C-alpha cells in the first residue's frame, strides 16, 4: 500500500508550487506514494519572485495544516518545498526556517538538521546562526545531545550500529588551542568521550577539511559538523541535485529539498524538481519501514517517551 505523503508547496512566490505540482503528477512519485498537496488557498495570487508577508503567511499555514494531519495520522510523512525566511519575518513569524518551526509545532524537545544522500550524511550542531555566534553557542551538552540524537536516528536509515565522526571547529581541529579558544578540548572531546562511554561509536574532534575526503568520509555513517556551511558546502558539492534535508528528533517524518526558493526563476519552467523527488522518495521509504522501528527507539527519539499531539499554533 502506498503511503500518503503531504507535500507543502513552500513560498508561493518561489519555485515551490511549481516543483510540488510537477512532483504530485509525476509517475515516479505516484509509484511510491499518494501525494497530498498543501499550499496557498484557492484564489490567492502571488507575484513570482516578489518577497511579501502574505506569501510568508501562506507558506506557514500550509506547514501548520500538514503537521496537523501528520500528527493525526492522516498522512504518513511530510516533504516540504522551500520557504523564504525573510517572508516569514515580514509576516511577523519568529522562526528562522523549517527546523525550529517544526520543533515548535510538534513539541519536540531536541531536533537536528541532517543532509542525506547515498554518498554522505551530515548532521549540523548549529544551524541558521551567524558564524560569529557559533563558538558562544557550542556547549558540551549541545554536542552530547547532537551525537546521541544522531546515534538514535541513524538506525532508521539501515545504520544499526552507526559510526559517527565529529568535526572540530577550528583549522586543524584547533591543534590543542594553537588555533581558536580550546573549543575542541572544552566541548567536543568531552562529548565524544561521554558518547563512547554510552556505547556510541563516535570519533572526534577530527580535522574539518580532512574528514570529508573520500578515504575518510567512507569510514563513517554520518559526520557531525559544528556550523551550517562547514557541513553544507561539502554536501552540496557531492549531492546538489539529489540531496535531502531531514529533520531528526520529530515525532513525525519530515524531509525537504536541499535548496532555496529561487525567486529569480520562479514560474519560468526552469526549476529542477529532482531534489523534491528525492525528498518524497525518502519520506515514502521511511513511512513504509516505520513499523519496523522498536518502541524504545521511538521513545528515545521523542525524549519524554510521549508524542505531543497538541499543536502550538502561533498567531
Q: What average pLDDT score do residues 196-220 get?
A: 95
Q: E strand or H helix at 56, and its extent?
A: helix 53-72
CA distance linking residue 243 with residue 118, whole number of Å: 9
125 shares a domain with 18: no
Domain count, the chain: 2
Tell me: pLDDT of 305 over 80: no
Q: What are phi and psi of 210, to 5 degrees?
A: -75, -30
pLDDT tens digits for range 211-266 = 999 999 999 999 999 999 999 999 999 988 888 999 999 999 999 998 899 999 99
Phi/psi-derived region of residue 176, left when phi > 0, alpha when psi is between -120 and 50, beta in every other case: left
232 shares a domain with 125: yes
CA distance linking residue 265 with residue 305, whole number of Å: 44
Give the count of beta carbons closer than 10 Å to the beta carbon of residue 72. 10
Domain boundary at 207, 241, 275, which?
A: 241
At 280 the pLDDT is 97
270 shares a domain with 185: no
Q: Which domain holds residue 158?
A: 118-241
At 312 the pLDDT is 32
| CATH number of residue 145's parent domain | 3.40.718.10
Indicate the SS3 state at residue 187.
helix
147 shares a domain with 49: no
Question: Is residue 137 in some structural domain?
Answer: yes
Any idea what the Cα angle at residue 134 is, between residues 129 and 140, rounded to 5°?
125
Indicate the SS3 state at residue 257.
strand
Record the pTM: 0.85
Give me the half-sphere count of Cα atoms (radius 13 Å) on the Cβ side of residue 236.
Answer: 10
223 shares a domain with 262: no
pLDDT tens digits for range 20-58 = 999 999 999 999 999 999 999 888 999 999 999 999 999
More confident of the two residues 67 and 170:
67
pLDDT tens digits for range 77-135 = 999 999 999 999 999 999 988 999 999 999 999 999 999 998 899 999 999 899 999 99
From first CA to last CA, the distance across the chain in angstroms is: 37
Question: Is residue 192 in some structural domain?
Answer: yes
Tell me: pLDDT of 307 over 70: no
Amino acid at each position: 500500500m502506498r503511503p500518503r505523503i503531504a507535500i507543502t508547496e513552500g513560498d508561493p512566490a518561489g519555485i515551490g508550487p511549481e516543483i510540488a505540482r510537477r512532483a504530485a503528477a509525476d509517475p515516479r512519485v505516484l509509484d511510491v506514494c499518494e501525494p497530498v498537496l498543501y499550499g496557498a488557498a484557492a484564489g490567492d495570487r502571488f507575484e513570482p519572485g516578489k518577497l511579501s508577508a502574505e506569501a510568508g503567511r501562506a507558506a506557514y499555514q500550509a506547514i501548520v495544516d500538514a503537521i496537523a494531519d501528520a500528527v493525526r495520522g492522516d498522512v504518513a510523512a511530510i516533504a516540504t518545498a522551500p520557504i523564504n525566511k525573510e517572508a516569514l519575518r515580514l509576516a511577523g513569524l519568529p522562526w528562522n526556517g523549517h527546523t525550529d518551526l517544526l520543533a515548535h509545532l510538534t513539541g519536540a524537545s531536541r531536533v537536528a538538521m541532517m543532509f542525506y544522500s547515498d554518498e554522505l550524511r551530515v548532521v549540523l550542531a548549529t544551524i541558521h546562526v551567524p558564524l560569529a555566534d557559533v563558538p558562544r553557542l557550542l556547549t558540551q551538552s549541545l554536542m552530547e545531545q547532537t551525537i546521541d540524537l544522531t546515534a538514535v536516528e541513524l538506525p532508521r536509515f539501515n545504520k544499526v550500529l552507526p559510526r559517527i565522526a565529529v568535526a572540530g571547529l577550528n583549522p586543524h581541529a584547533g591543534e590543542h588551542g594553537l588555533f581558536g579558544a580550546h573549543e575542541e578540548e572544552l566541548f567536543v572531546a568531552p562529548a565524544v568521550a561521554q558518547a563512547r562511554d554510552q556505547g556510541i561509536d563516535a570519533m572526534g574532534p577530527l580535522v574539518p577539511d580532512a574528514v570529508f575526503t573520500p578515504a575518510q568520509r567512507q569510514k563513517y555513517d554520518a559526520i557531525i559538523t559544528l556550523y551550517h556551511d562547514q557541513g553544507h558546502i561539502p554536501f552540496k558539492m557531492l549531492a546538489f541535485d539529489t540531496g535531502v534535508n531531514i529533520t531528526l528528533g520529530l515525532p513525525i517524518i519530515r524531509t525537504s529539498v536541499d535548496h532555496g526558493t529561487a525567486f529569480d526563476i520562479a514560474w519560468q519552467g526552469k526549476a529542477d524538481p529532482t531534489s523534491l523527488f528525492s525528498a518524497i522518495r525518502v519520506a515514502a521509504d521511511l513511512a513504509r519501514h516505520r513499523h519496523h522501528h522498536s518502541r524504545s527507539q521511538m521513545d528515545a527519539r521523542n525524549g519524554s517517551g510521549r508524542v505531543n499531539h497538541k499543536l502550538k499554533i502561533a498567531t
